[in-house]
Chain A
């Protein structure tokens, strides 16, 4: 599935988009931590289809995932 990266996380990863498969958001967090150096020490939120999720959400592979660093609007 398509994983969108933003701000300092995109900068760290060296890309603003990844393609990965994971059965759920907790598993995905572990995979992202392996792929993006230092991510485990950063504060970020995961959005599934543009809604932030905190619990372990089951993924079927068609979702749009976004990895969101702290917000800075305004």
Chain B
């Protein structure tokens, strides 16, 4: 059976598995998320949506006598590899939660200010459990497996490179 996915993460019409670009330039705007939700109104087989949104945090650097605070994160990526990895993660997610109706993932590139959104994982399913579990899985796998790099830029000048735990 060929699993069906959406081509453009915002169109709820099904498409075959294919490579797509999850990256957007700049922050993910709340209006874009609202539109994504609205586009699912035609899919009346959906019973629940689960959304994870990553926001840039104004971290305070620990361990030194400096008081540097993150003003923004500049994201870069090995885009081709990241999109290929995302296709694999998507296949794994649909294999584990075959009733999931659709899955949308977006990640920002460029300078994203503290307080802005940089990452979205959005799953829909007939019942909440599948959507909830799939979002948790996909969020963790993206953080682990996608070659995305983050330069934390300090308000006071200077930077450090972010590393996922």
| A, B from the same assembly | yes
CB distance from B151 to the nearest CB of A (A): 7
Question: A66 vs B42: C-alpha distance in the bound complex, in angstroms?
Answer: 43
CB distance from A2 to the nearest CB of B (A): 12
Choose among A4, A50, A66, A68 the residue with the greatest number of B CB atoms under 10 Å from its CB: A50
B interface footprint on A1-29 (CB within 8 Å = 1, 0 otherwise): 00010111001000000000000000000
B149 within 8 A of A: yes
Residues of A30-74 at the interface with B, using a CB-CB cut-off of 8 Å, are 47, 50-51, 66, 68-74
CB distance from A64 to the nearest CB of B (A): 8
Question: Which of A8, A66, A73 is B148 in contact with, Cβ under 8 Å?
Answer: A73
A72 x B150 contact (CB < 8 A): yes
B143 x A6 contact (CB < 8 A): no
Contacts of B78 in A (CB 8 A): 4, 6, 47, 50, 66, 68
B110 within 8 A of A: no
B161 x A73 contact (CB < 8 A): no
A71 x B161 contact (CB < 8 A): no
B149 x A7 contact (CB < 8 A): yes
CB distance from A27 to the nearest CB of B (A): 22
B76 x A6 contact (CB < 8 A): yes
Question: Which of B80, B81, B162 is A72 in contact with, Cβ under 8 Å?
Answer: B162
Question: A38 vs B145: C-alpha distance in the bound complex, in angstroms?
Answer: 25
Question: A7 vs B159: C-alpha distance in the bound complex, in angstroms?
Answer: 12
Question: A7 vs B118: C-alpha distance in the bound complex, in angstroms?
Answer: 17
B84 x A71 contact (CB < 8 A): no
